[in-house]
Structure 1
Amino acid sequence: MASSKIGLDFGTTNSTISYLENGKPVAFKYGGQQESIPSFIAYEDDGYIDIGKAARQAAASEPQMESYGNFKMDLPLTENFANNYSSKHTPITVTTDYLRQLLLSPENTYSFRSQQGEIEGLVVSVPEIWQRDISNRGRENLQSLIAHNLGLEKQLIQLVSEPVAAAAYYAWETQRRHQQENQEPFQGNLLVCDMGGGTFDVSLCRVYGDKKVEVLYFDGEGDRGLESAGVAFDRRCVIQAYKKQNGTEPDLNSQEFMNQLQSFESLKIDGHNRYTKKLKNYCKSPSDLAEKTLYSFANGYTITNGEVDEAFQPIAEGIRRVLERVNQWLATHQEPCDRLFLVGGFSQFYLVQKTILDALKITEKDPRVDNDFNLIQSAFAISYGACLIANGLVQPRETYIHTIGIVVGMMTASMEVEETFIPIIEGGANLDDLASLRFADIPPLEAFHDTPEVILGVVPQSKGQIFKKVLPDTVKLPRNVASEKWRVGMRVNRSQVAYLAIVSVGGKRKVEYELGNIIAQMFPGFVIRED
C-alpha cells in the first residue's frame, strides 16, 4: 500500500479523513462505510477500545461501560474535567486513544494505516478560536499529543484553522471547475461560515491567483460552553422532550440521556431532507404550525416546530451577534462579500442557514450563495481542504495575530531604569516569515547566573494592552556559560504555536521553550473578546 498525505477534520461530533485519489480529495470510509466517524470512544473491561458508531452502540447496550464524546472541546482544559472523566483518563488521553484507533492502530483493521497504508504527511483542522484566543491551550495540547503520544512529529505538517481549510477547498474546487469549462477562475472575497458541533466561526478569505487564500477577517462565538453550535441545540431539544414526557429534568450524565441524544442526532441527520421541508413550511407560517410535531424519537419522545425554534434561539442570537460584527467590518473597510460558503455539519440545518442569510440580508437565490456545492462537499470541505494543504495543492496565507516580546529595563536620560516592552513577534505577520527565529532589537544581554529572569510581554490580538509575566525558573541556560552574551528570540510554527529561544552570540548554544502553557496562565478566562 502506498503512503498518503492526509487531511483530518477532527470534529466535536464527527471526524473525517481525506486523501488524494486520482488527483482529487476523497473521504476515507472507516469500516468501509463511515465517511463521518463519530468522535466517540468506549473502553471495554478487557482493554478493548471501540470508536465511532460501534462505540456508541456498545455504550448504549452496556450503560456501565466507560465512554466519552465531545472530548475535543475539553482539550484546551488542564483541570476542571474530573467530573466528566475517570481517574485513568483525561481529555488528552482520550483524544490520543481515539486518534490512534482512527489513524494508526495495527490491531484495528478499520484504521487508516490498516486500510490505506502509511501516513506520510498530516494536516489537522482546529477551531478558529484556538488561534484567536491566545490563552487557549487547544493547539499546543493537540500538537503535543499528535507529535509525541502518537509518534507523528515528522508527519505533522501543521494545524490549520477550520474556515481556512474550507476556503482552501473552495478555491481549489471552483478553479478546477472553471478550468474545465474554460471560464475565468473565481477571485474575490469568500465568507466562510463554519457551524459544527462545538463552535461557530466565520472567516472572510480573499481567493486570488493560482488557488491562493488569505484571511482578511475572522470572528466567532467560540465554544462558549457549547452554547453556540450543534451539540448545544441537540441537548436542548432532548431535554425539552424529556421534561415534556416525564415532568422532571433528565440526568445529563446518565446513559439513558446519552441514548436519547444519540437517537435524536441520528434521526435529525438521516431525515435531513424531510425535516428541512417541514421547517421551511413552519417558517412560512409559524403561528399555524408551531404546535405540530417535528421530531419523534427514542420510543415516544416528541418535540414540536415551536419547541425546536425555541431551542435554537440562543444559537440564532450568537449567529446574529457575529454577523453584525462582520457587517460592520465589511462596511468600515469597504470590502465586499462576493461569495458565501456554509460548511460544517450543523450548517446544513435549515434554521442555521436561514439565520445566516437573514443576518447578511441576502436570499437563498442570491448569486453570492454558491449552490454548485452539494451537501457532501459542504460537509467535508474542511477535511478536503486540509488534504489539499497537506499535498501542497493550496497554500493559504495565514497570519499570527498576537504581538509577543520581552520586557527589559532601559536606562533613561535621568539615569533611571524604565521597563520597556520590546516586541519580537509583531501581530499580523505572515506565518511563513515566522518559521525562523526573530530576535529582540536590543544589544545582546549578559546573564549573571544560569537561570536569568525573563519577563514575557503579550498583547492579545495586538489590541494595545500589554500583559506581563516574569519567568523566574523557566529559562535555564547551559551550565558554566552564564557569562556569555545572549540574544532573545521567538518563532511561531505553522500550527501557530509560539516559542521563546535564548541563543548565545555566535549561535553555538541555544535553549528553546514552548510558550503556550505559560501564556495561558497569564489570563483567567478563555476568550478575550473585541467587544
Structure 2
Amino acid sequence: MREPVIGIDLGTTNSAVASVEEGRPRVIPSRAGGRLTPSVVGLTPKTGERVVGGKAQALAEEHPECVVWATKRFIGRRFTPELLQAAKAVVPYQLVGGNTGDVRVKMAGRTVPVTQVSAMILGELKLDAEAHFGRPVNKCVITVPANFDDGQRQATREAATIAGLDAIRLINEPTAAALAYGLSRGFQGHALVFDLGGGTFDVTVLEITDGVYEVKATGGDPALGGEDFDLKIVEWLLAQVEDSHRELVHRDAVSMRKLKVAAEQAKRELTEYEETLISLAGLGDHTQGGWKLTGLETALTRDFFEQLIAPLSKRCLDVCASVMQEARMDPRSVDTVLLVGGMTRVPLIRRLVADFFGKAPSTDVNPDEAVALGAAIHADELARQSGAALLLDVVGNSLSVGVLGGRVRRLINKNSSVPVVAKELFYPGSHGQTEARISIYQGESDLQDENRKLGEVVLRNLQGTSRTDTPLEVTFELSNEGILSVRAADLKTGLSEAVRLEARPHLPGQEAERLVKEQAAYAQKQAREDAQKTEDKFRKLLERGDKLAKLLQQSAKENPGEQAEAAVTNVQSLLDSGRAALESGDAEQCAQVARQLNQLLSGR
C-alpha cells in the first residue's frame, strides 16, 4: 500500500489535516474527536508538559500566562520594536527576540521560538494522521498565505522538519481552496477566492480550465483576520467595565482572556441570531487573590456589531478592488466567489461580497476545511504524479534590489507567473569599492524603508578601480512554491556568491537539532499512550459493529434479498478482519477497518 501523504492547513486560529481516500478528500478527525485543532499551545505551570488544541484552550482559562495562540502572525518575521508594538494590540503574551533575530514567546516562564510553537501544532496533526492510518506518516503538503514572504515560508518548512514531517510542497491557501472546489464541483471559468481567516486576509483570482489552475492576480492584508474582528468586541466590552475597575481589567491576563473568549462566542452567535447576551463574572486583578473583582452584563446586537467592524470590512473590499484592478477584470465578470475561513460566515461579510461582485458567494464548501482538503488533493496528485491538475501560481509581492538614494529597483513584479528567473546588472556605489552588499526587498513601494528587507548577498574582493569596470549581475530565481534564491556575480572576475539571508531569522543549528529530538521523544511517548486508547476505542467500535450486524441480519430475514444479504456479509467480514487484526497487533489493518466501520455506522 502506498505511503499516506497528507495535506495540512496550518491556520492562525484553527488547523486541519486531510487526506484523499478512495478518490475523495476527507478531513482526518483529531484524536480528541473534532475536525479542527485550535492553533493554541500551552505548557502546564508545574510540570511544563505541553498541551495543544482544546486542552491548551482549557488551560488558558486558569493560566493564560501559560498559553499562546495566533503565533502564525509572527512566524518567519524579524523581531523589531515595530513588530512588538503591533503585537501588543493583538495578543497579551510577551514577545522577545532570539539570538538570530527570530521571534519568541514567553510561556509558563519559558522562552519558546514561534517556529517551535508551529512545530508543536504540526506534530499534533501528524499524530492525528498516524492514529487514523495506523502507520507512520511523514510526507505532507502545507498551505501558507499567498502573501507569505521567503522567510515565512522557510520558517514554515523549518517547523515541519522539527515536527518530523517532509513538506514536499508549500501551496498558497487560496489556490488550495480553489483546487478543492474545482475538482469536487467540476468548475470551469474565473473563480475568486475570498480567504478571511483568523490572522490573514487573501484574495486570489484564478482561471480554471480543464484541470489547469492559473492564478491571474493575488493580494491581501497580512494583519487582518478574525483576531482583529474579535478585538473590536473586546474593546467595546472593556469600555463598559466600571471606571474604577477598567484599568485593572485591562492589565489582568485572566480578565482579558475572559473578554476574548466572550467576544469569539458573541461573534459566532451573531452569525445565527440578531442579538446575543454577554454575562461575565470575575473581572479584575487576579494577581491579588481576587481582590476587587467585578462583573459585566450586556447585550450585543448584530446591527451594532456590524458598525464596530465596518472599518475592517471596508479594508476587505479595498483589497478586492486592488486585486481586480491588477487582474484587469470587472468584479462582476468573476464567475464564482468561493468563501474560505471562518470569518466568512459573518452575514455582513457575505452581504458585502455579494454586493461587490454582483452575485451570491458559494457556500457549497465548508470554509474551515476547504484549504486542508485542497492541500490533500494536491498532495495526492504529487504522490501519484497523475497530472490531473496543473497549478500556475503568481508572485504575491514584488521583489527588488536596494539602490542608492534609499530606493529600490524592481526585478520581479507582483503577479508575475512562477517559477520565474530575473537578471539585471548593477555597479558598485563608488570607485575602488572592494565589497558590495546587495540588499533584497519585498514590497510595492519605490522606497527601501517602506518595503520589507529579506536579506543580503555580500560580494567581497572586488578588484575594479572604476565603478563601470565592475559589472555585478544579480539573479533572482523564484520557485513555484515562492522560495527565493538570489545569486550575485562579478562578471569581470567570475566571483559569485549565493544568497545569505542575514536579515532572515532562523533557529541556530544546535537549537534546531535539539528541538527535533525533543519533538521525536514527545511523539514516541504520545504514540504509546495513543495506541492503548486507540485499542480501547476499536474494541468498543467492534461492539457497535456487532449490534449493526444483528440489526442487518434481522432486516435480511424480514426483507430477504441479495442487497440485504450483501450488507450482512460486508459487515461480518469487516468484524472478522478487525478481530484478526486486533489479535495480531496489526495497527494499520485495525485503522482501516475502523474507518470503514465508522462510515457504515454514520451512514456515509
Answer yes or no: same fold by TM over 0.5.
Answer: yes
Q: Deviations over 1:136-168 (max 9, x none)?
A: 742232223323x3343xx21222221111111
Distance 2:64 2:337 in 1: 45
Shift of residue 433, structure 1, vs aligned partner: 5.2
Provide the rounded CA distance (Å) in 1 between the counterparts of 2:318 and 2:487: 40
Match of 2:177 in 1: 166
Change (3 A) 1:473 1:329: closer
Q: Is the 8 A contact 1:452 1:472 kept in 2?
A: no
Deviations, residues 443-465 of structure 1 (Å, cap 9, x unaligned): xxxxx99x95353465745x777
Seen in structure 2, the aligned counterparts of structure 1 residues 303 and 502 have a Cα distance that, compared at 3 Å, is: same
Which one of the candidate residues 333, 336, 342 is aligned to 1:336? Answer: 333
Quickly say closer, same or farther: Cα 1:476–1:26, change in 2 above 3 A: farther
- Output the CA distance in 1 between the equivalents of 2:502 and 2:242: 46
Shift of 1:354: 1.5
1:397 corresponding residue in structure 2: 392
Aligned partners of 1:408 and 1:55: how far apart in 2? 47
Counterparts of 1:100-499 in structure 2, within 5 Å, are: 100-103=123-126, 111-116=128-133, 117-131=135-149, 137-147=151-161, 149-152=162-165, 155-175=166-186, 186-210=187-211, 212-223=212-223, 228-247=224-243, 248=246, 250-251=249-250, 254-266=253-265, 268-269=267-268, 271=269, 275-279=270-274, 293-298=275-280, 301-305=297-301, 306-326=303-323, 328=325, 336-362=333-359, 364=360, 369-371=361-363, 373-374=364-365, 377-392=366-381, 394-400=389-395, 429-432=416-419, 453-456=436-439, 460-461=443-444, 474=458, 489-499=475-485
1:310 Cα shift? 2.8
Q: Distance in 2 between matches of 1:379 and 1:72?
A: 16
Bigger Rg, structure 1 or 2: 2
User: Does the residue aligned with 2:498 lie in a helix, a strand or coil?
Assistant: strand
Higher helix share: 2
Distance 1:76 1:120 in 2: 23
User: Which residue number in structure 2 is paired with residue 178 of structure 1?
Assistant: none
Following superposition of structure 1 onto structure 2, how do residues 26-65 of structure 1 map, counting pairs within 5 Å?
26-44=26-44, 45-60=46-61, 62-63=62-63
**Equivalent position amino acid for 1:517 in 2:** A
Tell me the CA shift for residue 488 of structure 1. Answer: 5.8
Seq. identity, % = 19
Q: Distance in 2 between matches of 1:422 and 1:330?
A: 23
Gaps of 5+ in 1: 104-109, 176-185, 280-292, 410-420, 443-447, 478-484, 521-531
TM score, norm. by length of structure 1 = 0.70
Q: Could you list the per-position Cα deviations for residues 71-92 of structure 1 after superposition, in whole angstroms to 9, with x for gaps in the alignment?
A: 1112243324483432522322
SS at match of 1:34: coil
- Amino acid in structure 1 at the alignment position of 2:156: L
Match of 1:517 in 2: 503
CA contact (8 A) 2:456 2:502 kept: no
CA contact (8 A) 1:264 1:298 kept: no
In structure 2, runs of 5+ residues without a counterpart are 85-92, 96-104, 282-295, 382-387, 427-431, 462-470, 507-604
Does the residue aligned with 2:7 lie in a helix, a strand or coil? Answer: strand
Q: Is the 8 A contact 2:42 2:56 kept in 1?
A: yes
CA shift at 1:217, angstroms?
1.6
Aligned CA distance change for structure 1 residues 326 and 301 (closer, same or farther; 3 Å): farther
CA distance 1:258–1:488, change in 2 (3 Å): same
1:353 Cα shift? 1.0
- Taking the aligned partners of 1:471 and 1:384, their CA distance within structure 2 comes to 34
CA contact (8 A) 1:194 1:344 kept: yes
For the residues of structure 1 that align with 2:326 and 2:398, how far apart are their CA atoms? 21
Cα offset, 1:204, TM superposition: 1.1
Look up the equivalent residue of 1:494 and give its one-letter code: N
Q: 1:35 to 1:253 in 2, by over 3 A?
A: farther
Per the normalisation by structure 2, the TM-score is 0.63
Distance 1:18 1:295, change over 3 A: farther
* Cα pair distance change 1:201/1:92, threshold 3 Å: same
Q: Give the match for residue 70 of structure 2.
A: 70
In the TM superposition, what whole-angstrom CA distance separates every residue of 1:367-424 from its partner, at most 9, and x where no partner exists? Answer: xx334x15xx232111111111222253321123556577999xxxxxxxxxxx9987
**What is the DSSP-based 3-state SS (H/G/I as helix, E as strand, rest coil) of the residue aligned with 2:499?**
strand
- Provide the secondary structure at the position in 1 that maps to 2:334: coil
Shift of 1:503: 8.1
TM-aligned CA deviation for residue 8 of structure 1: 1.2
User: How many Å apart are 1:18 and its aligned residue?
Assistant: 1.0
Task: Determine the C-alpha separation between the residues in 2 that align with 1:24 and 1:74.
Answer: 34
The residue type paired with residue 170 of structure 1 is: Y
RMSD between superposed Cα atoms in Å: 4.3
